Structures are given as C-alpha cells and as structure tokens.
Amino acid sequence: MAETLQDLLNKVDEREGELVDLLTTLIAFETPAPPARNTSEAQAFIGRHLEASGFSTETWDIYPGDPNVVGVRKGRRSDGFRSLILNGHVDVAEVSPDEPWETGPFQPIVRDGVVIGRGAADMKGGLAGALFAVRLLHESGLELRGDVTFESVIGEEVGEAGTLQCCNKGYTADLAVVVDTSDLHMKGQGGVITGWVTVKSARTYHDGTRRQMIHAGGGLHAASAIEKMTKVMGGLRDLEQHWAVTKSYPGCPLGSTTINPAVIEGGRHAAFIADECRLWITVHFYPNETHEEITREIEAHIAAVAAADPWLRENPPTFVWGGKSMIVDRGEIFPSLEVDPGHPGVQLLASHHLGVTGTRPEMDVSSSVTDGGWFGAAGIPAVIYGPGELRQAHSVNEQVSIEQLKTFTKVLLGFIHDWSNTPR
C-alpha cells in the first residue's frame, strides 16, 4: 500500500532514534568558526546524505577547507509547480578552551529529552531535521512536482556568507526557508553591518609638542586623533539615541537600532601624539531598512559633527563599511529580511505548524541575524523557521529539545510535500 503523508509524520516518532543519531553525528564534526576552514568532512557527509535522498549535488570551496554543498531534487513538473530552498549553515560558534562543558562540545550527550553539544540549537538541529525530512520523502516515493534545493553553507558565524555565494551562482526558488534557531517561531530579522571609522592626522608630532596644541598662544594647529575620536563617538551616541526615539518596527523592541563602539585602536607609543585612531562599530537596523541607507545616514551625521570642530573640519573621519569575513578582513554584512505574512508559502508553512502543534506559530522578528537577509536582498521571499532557543545558541552545554526537533521535522516534511505540489 502506498504511504500517505500522515504515515510519514508518524514515522518521525517511530524513527526518533535515527533523527537523534543524525543530529549527534553532525555535532561530532568539529566545525567551529573561528577558526573555520574545518567543514569539509561534515559537508561531504551531508552531500552523501542528499545524494541518497534523490538530490544531485554541487560542492565548491568558499575558502580552502570550507566548501558549500548544494543539492537539487528536480520536480516531475518543475515548470508548473512551486520551488523551494531549504538553507542552513554547518559552521558553529567558537569554543574557548576554558569553557566548562560537561563532556566536550563535540562529544554529544542525549538525555532527559535533549541533545547537548555545540551546534545543537545553532543550527545543526535544523539541518538534521531538514535532512531527515527529505530522506523520508524520498523513501516514501511520494511525488514532488516542484524543485527542492538544499543548501548547506559555511561561514554564517563569521560573516562569510556562503548563502550569498549560492545566490550569486543562480540558485533561486519561489520561497526559501532558513532552518536556523527560531524556537519554531516564523521570523524576519533586522540587519547588521560593521564599519571602521578612522580619524587621521596629516602630520606626526612628538609628544613634547602637546603644550603648543592645547594652550593659548601655542600656535600649533594639531590634535590627538584619539581625543578627536571621542567627539565622533559622542556623535554616534547622539545618533543612536535619536534613532531610538524616532524609529520603530512591529515586533522589534524599541531601541533595536544600535551603534556599538566595539573596538578602538590608535596611537604609536608614548613618545608620539596619536596621529591615527580607528573605531570598529557594529550597527543594527530594522527589517525595513538597508545597510546602504544606514551607512549614508551615519556618514552624514558624523560629517556634521566634524564640520563643527576646527581640526576635524580639515581632517574629516573616513569610513570603510562591511567586509567578506570577520576572520579575513574584520568585517561583515547581514542584510535585513522582511517576511510577507500574506505570501502563500508563509501561510502554508503556518498551516502545517498549526496542524502539527494545534497552535498558530508566532510571527515575529529575530533579535539576532541569520543568512535569511541574503535571500531578501536577492529578491527571493524567505522566512526563518527552525528548532532551538536563542538563549541556548553559543552557550556552554548548548542543547535542543528532541520533542521540538521532531515537531520541526514533521512540519517541514508536510510543508515540503504540499508546497512542491502547489501549482504556480
């Protein structure tokens, strides 16, 4: 007798042990970033799993030792039915040597209804559930008329944007589901961009000239770049406070648009007046804003601050925004993502969540960032939906609920089937 979709949902419970084993296998691959360059074996495992589930795969290095793996399962009537991208990152948060893990971060523990290990919540739980769902669908023989693309990417933890590389290669779909940590909420996200602000003197001075810079009649029009950077920091703080009272977005706590002065570097040594100072900032913005808009606003505000200072007017601050890697060039961009609650795929996903759990999913905005924004930037509708609580992400003894993992797998399994069989 042919299997039904309900039979498959029941199999998630019946084969719980296989799902848990899949997650513990993924956790055991040591893929922290930093240091990164360590995902090849994990990605090869995922590639084999996808091929055994009816996908053709493509693998290419983003960095040596860090490849993307993309699997495509062509639908039987691709031209007339909806397509889907399932997306997740295989890298996990870094681990410090002195963290008090119960065993080890890559020696997973299964007990009391949870799986413990680095990446359990962020986000190898989501990857395991998605991989298990496509395996069950393949084994069932149930027809999928639309294309399903599975992207296992690298670099999310350090802004290396493996997902952007998939978009650049032309992978697209009618909807993308990013199976990252969301506690089974359906989420959009604000965006993040880092930037370097530099204050630099055209000339270098001995520290013995300081009296001539700061006292009346000294006659030396010069300044310490470090001290002038404090004016820039004050201007950034004023702008941050202005945003807090003038900007808002549904589902985001007020004041979520922040400018964090994260790192400051400057000066040569004690015998010099500091001729250069660099400030590394992290800027969070709302889902309906772009990083281009935000950086223009910051630069215009700081230009006005500099114009009011005699020395900064002649030595204006300069800006370098974003970057391709927090490891390589100390910079990153995460575009924002607005979710359209009326999109038919979003509505269908919500209905499958309701069908499995008995309650409608919460639709809100992540307080963190994921690769989901790259889909929005590429014009691909997307939503973040995955197992795991954000408070567990990056934590010591990180864990995910097995019951929630099964719920996620059931919801995704039913959704993949019905979406790929939805006519365009």
Q: Find, among 282, 127, 121, the residue nearest to 190 by Cα.
A: 282
Task: Assess if residue 402 is contained within a domain.
Answer: yes
Active site residues: 91, 156
Q: What is the pLDDT of residues 219-241, one digit of tens each?
A: 888 899 999 999 999 999 999 99
Q: What is the pLDDT of residues 299-330, one digit of tens each?
A: 999 999 999 999 999 999 999 999 999 999 99
Residues 312 and 343 in one domain: no
Residues 153 and 233 in one domain: no
β-strands 84-89, 148-153 pairing: parallel
pLDDT value of residue 2:
54
Task: Assess if residue 306 is contained within a domain.
Answer: yes
Residues 242 and 165 in one domain: no
Of 290, 321, 352, which marks where a domain is finished? Answer: 321
Task: Assess if residue 316 is contained within a domain.
Answer: yes
Half-sphere exposure of 233 (CA within 13 A, CB side): 16
Task: Assess if residue 147 is contained within a domain.
Answer: yes
Pairwise CA distance, residues 350 & 362, whole Å: 9
Pairwise CA distance, residues 401 & 399, whole Å: 7
Residues 154 and 201 in one domain: no
Task: Assess if residue 331 is contained within a domain.
Answer: no
Question: Is the bond leading into 34 cis (omega within 30 degrees of zero)?
Answer: yes
pLDDT at 356 over 90: yes
pLDDT value of residue 1:
39
Residues 197 and 277 in one domain: yes
Residues 364 and 218 in one domain: no
List own/partner pairs for 2-10 with CB under 8 A and 24 or more apart.
2/141, 3/140, 3/141, 3/142, 5/142, 5/413, 5/414, 5/417, 5/418, 7/140, 8/136, 8/137, 8/140, 8/142, 8/413, 8/414, 8/417, 9/356, 9/410, 9/413, 9/414
Q: Which residues pair with 72 in a beta bridge?
A: 56, 149
pTM for this structure? 0.94
Task: Assess if residue 328 is contained within a domain.
Answer: no
pLDDT at 377 over 80: yes
pLDDT value of residue 219:
82
Check which CATH number belongs to the domain holding 394 and give it.
3.40.630.10
Domain count, the chain: 2
Task: Assess if residue 117 is contained within a domain.
Answer: yes
Residues 203 and 95 in one domain: no
Residues 147 and 10 in one domain: yes
Residues 115 and 174 in one domain: yes
For residue 56, give every residue at least 6 positions away whose Cβ sits within 8 Å of its Cβ, in sequence order, or none. Answer: 71, 72, 73, 74
Range of the domain at 265: 191-321
Q: What is the pLDDT of residues 195-217, one digit of tens each?
A: 999 999 999 988 989 888 888 78
**CB-neighbour burial class of residue 63 (10 A; exposed 0-12, middle 13-18, buried 19+):** middle
- Mean predicted lDDT score pLDDT of the chain: 96
Pairwise CA distance, residues 295 & 285, whole Å: 10
In contact, 132 and 88? CB cutoff 8 Å: no
Q: What is the pLDDT of residues 398-423, one digit of tens each?
A: 999 999 999 999 999 999 999 999 99
